[in-house]
Amino acid sequence: MIYHCNACKFNFSRYGEVTACPDCGSQNIRYAAAAERTEFLMYQDMIDQELAQQERMRPGSSGAA
Ligand SMILES: [Zn+2]
């Protein structure tokens, strides 16, 4: 489930019940709207690709675990 913090506009994903924003600690959170979920997932995808790229560029790493 993806949540949105109304206080700091932070989007975050958590399993189970969430009572406060992990970024600012505000309890003013709600489920993310469709557009916010899309944005969040695109951002996560970007980070994943960046990490994968760093992994490939690391010397001595075969890339096949
Ligand atoms: Zn927050």
Distance (angstroms) between ligand 1 centre and the Cα of 55 equals 31
Burial label for 4, CB within 10 Å (0-12, 13-18, 19+), is buried
Q: Exposure string (b/e) for 38-58, b if CB count within 10 Å is 16 or more?
A: eebeeeeeeeeeeeeeeeeee
Distance (angstroms) between ligand 1 centre and the Cα of 3 equals 10
What pTM was estimated for this model as a whole?
0.71
Distance (angstroms) between ligand 1 centre and the Cα of 54 equals 29
pLDDT given at position 58: 84
pLDDT given at position 24: 98
Distance (angstroms) between ligand 1 centre and the Cα of 29 equals 8
pLDDT given at position 31: 94
